[in-house]
Chains A and B, each alone.
Chain A
Amino acid sequence: MDNILPSYLILGAILFCIGLYGALSKKNAVIVLLSIELMLNASNLNFVAFAKYGPNPALSGQIFSLFTITIAAAEAAVGVAILLALFRNKGTSDVVEMDHLKH
């Protein structure tokens, strides 16, 4: 039990699955965005865990996770902006009602 890397990977898998469940089952769009952030965080955890315990430990994993955090911040900002625009025009923040492309 001297290798703890699988524990980190399994924690990442659990977080990813919880985030996936939240993203696909919740009705409020803000919570869906938040669940997507949880999934991105799970992948970040894997990057940092491999950066320390992987076959080739290096700081590159941490730098990659920094880039991921940046992209996630941009994604959340754009997501909330789209949500605001949609709420102003259609008056809903419920993802079930966001089916304007269907009709």
Chain B
Amino acid sequence: MGGLSVMWDNLTAFFSHGPNIVFTVLAVVIISAAVLMINFDKIVHMVLAMALAFIGLGGLYILLAAEFVAIVQILIYGGAMTILMIFGIMMTRHKNQEEEAKRPVHNVLLLIGVVALFGILFYAIQGTAFVTGAPLDPGSDNTAAIGELIFNNHVIPFELVSVLLTVAFIGAIVMAKREEE
């Protein structure tokens, strides 16, 4: 039973570290929310489960010392994206139930493919010896550091992305607008 005791030692070492406990709780919340999203019948419930997953991911970003990204995640995904999807449902829905999939062969093949993909990813991640430097020093002001980096090193991508966002939103408005004839 040597392997079992080694595993036990690893587990106790893992859970003796505070952030690891938070990581485990958040990971369980996120994965259960995502799985619930797949299994719910009503579409609005699916969107709400997904909002829970997005907010849990925001918690993980805080754990990773990325406070600004965490707040952006909660604002954009937890707020804006969820509301946008609910509006999309309101405007297109005639049945509020996702009808049972009538494609059993399709779904079984898909499940096999997805599990195989996960197996490959798992194998690759477990087999890689990650070189770790010293963990990122979060600094005292994450937002200021990100702002300085964006406006010093990444100005051109930043401006390009703002133009892209404007163009995309104008395009979305034009496309969704009712043509009056």
Return A5 CB to nearest CB of chain B, in Å. 5
Q: Which residues of B, 25-39, contact A by the 8 Å Cβ criterion?
A: 27, 30-31, 34-35, 37-38
Interchain CA distance A45-B116 in the complex, whole Å = 21
Contacts A45-B60, A62-B69, A80-B176 supplied; 15 other A-B pairs, CB < 8 Å:
A17-B118, A18-B35, A25-B38, A30-B88, A34-B46, A34-B50, A37-B81, A45-B61, A48-B64, A49-B64, A55-B130, A63-B149, A72-B81, A73-B81, A84-B88
Q: Which residues of B, 59-77, contact A by the 8 Å Cβ criterion?
A: 60-61, 64-66, 68-69, 72-73, 76-77
In contact, B34 and A19 (Cβ under 8 angstroms):
yes
In contact, A27 and B114 (Cβ under 8 angstroms):
no
Q: Decide yes or no whether A85 CB sits under 8 A from chain B.
A: yes
The residues of A that contact B54 with a CB separation of less than 8 Å are 37, 41
Return A22 CB to nearest CB of chain B, in Å. 5
In contact, B176 and A53 (Cβ under 8 angstroms):
no
In contact, B69 and A41 (Cβ under 8 angstroms):
no
Interchain CA distance A101-B78 in the complex, whole Å = 35
In contact, B69 and A48 (Cβ under 8 angstroms):
yes
In contact, A33 and B85 (Cβ under 8 angstroms):
yes
**A residues near B, CB below 8 A?**
1, 3-11, 13-22, 24-31, 33-35, 37-38, 41, 44-45, 48-49, 51-60, 62-63, 65-67, 69-78, 80-85, 87-88, 93, 96
Size class of the B contact interface (CB-based, 8 Å) = 35 or more
In contact, B168 and A10 (Cβ under 8 angstroms):
no
Q: Write the chain A residue with the least CB distance to B176.
A: A81
Given A73-B81, A84-B91, answer yes or no on A27-B99 (Cβ-Cβ < 8 Å): yes
In contact, B66 and A62 (Cβ under 8 angstroms):
yes
In contact, B136 and A58 (Cβ under 8 angstroms):
yes
In contact, B77 and A37 (Cβ under 8 angstroms):
yes
Q: Enumerate 11 A-B pairs (CB-CB under 8 Å) in ascending A order.
A: A6-B130, A9-B125, A51-B66, A63-B154, A67-B161, A69-B77, A73-B81, A80-B172, A81-B171, A82-B175, A84-B175
In contact, B176 and A52 (Cβ under 8 angstroms):
no
Return A97 CB to nearest CB of chain B, in Å. 12
In contact, B92 and A87 (Cβ under 8 angstroms):
yes
Interchain CA distance A63-B143 in the complex, whole Å = 11
In contact, A1 and B117 (Cβ under 8 angstroms):
no
The residues of A that contact B73 with a CB separation of less than 8 Å are 41, 44, 69
The residues of B that contact A9 with a CB separation of less than 8 Å are 125
